[in-house]
Structure 1
Amino acid sequence: MVDIVPADVRSRMMSGIRGTNTKPELLLRKGLHGLGFRFRLHDRSLPGKPDVVFPRYRAVIFAHGCFWHGHDCHLFKWPSTRPEFWQAKIARNRAVDERTHAALAQSGWRQAIVWECAIKGKTRLPLDEVVLACAAWLKSDSRRLEIRGKQG
């Protein structure tokens, strides 16, 4: 199937997609900062450059976009154009995620993933519920946390 917009327009649209400081990430950071948590952003010294780093708690939070990380939810749909490219791209992203999580775990870092569908879309949870769950996890001894949108 042929793309419905010219290549230069598609390029401009794709360049507008952020890798850092996404809306879900900003909402999480604002909520956690409001609860008194202090953190670093996108620490390049850590595998995967986690979105939010809490050195005091030896914990990181990733705010994953459902499309880019191939999440099994209503926000992820395989594009109909260039399917081979997109399948390879998403598979590569998932492989990088696995290596990143393994390297962080081996280094003793606790990890949380907050999926985009937990913060936006028809399965979203109340934002304060997501923020409070992250805060409770930070204060706990739990190694992992994953927050996704409502099921069903």
Structure 2
Amino acid sequence: MTERRACPPAPGPLEEYAARFDDLLVSLAQRRGLREYLTALLAPRDRNKTLTCLAGAEPVTGSKDAAVQRLQFFLDLAALFMWAPDTRILSHPLRVAKNELTAVTGVMQGTFTRPMPVGKGGFIQPTGKKYAINMATVGIWNRRGTMDEEFLFRDNQTFYSQIGLG
């Protein structure tokens, strides 16, 4: 097993709070995403705290900036980790890259062990069922070596069937 990579710390007392979640966050990107989100959320701003504002980008025109997309990706996955905190991808059997494009496949696995929020204060109670679904991601990279866009594909019908909701 590889050694866990250190995450750049959040400023001041935020690091102590963010570190409480490190055991739930599998990858460095997830731990970094939490720290970036907390820092942006709690920092003083001159305008409403939209995703573009939290990422320090211009409204509307900055919505495709890498920092905004990284924050959106973190928030999208945070919802999944809320009700399936052991979600992980242990292998990537296919990896393809050409120029600024990458495509990777994997098997996403986890267990539905916590209540799933469904909006308006409602929840679906956990079934305790495990899932293992095929997934693929296509990434578009920039010259700085960071991903500008990512498209994640998975079989939702199989996914919901496996966790007892299909």
Q: Give TM-score, length-normalised by structure 2.
A: 0.28
Which is helix-richer, 1 or 2? 1
Larger Rg: 2
RCO higher in 1 or 2 (8 Å CA, sep ≥ 6)? 1
Which is strand-richer, 1 or 2? 2
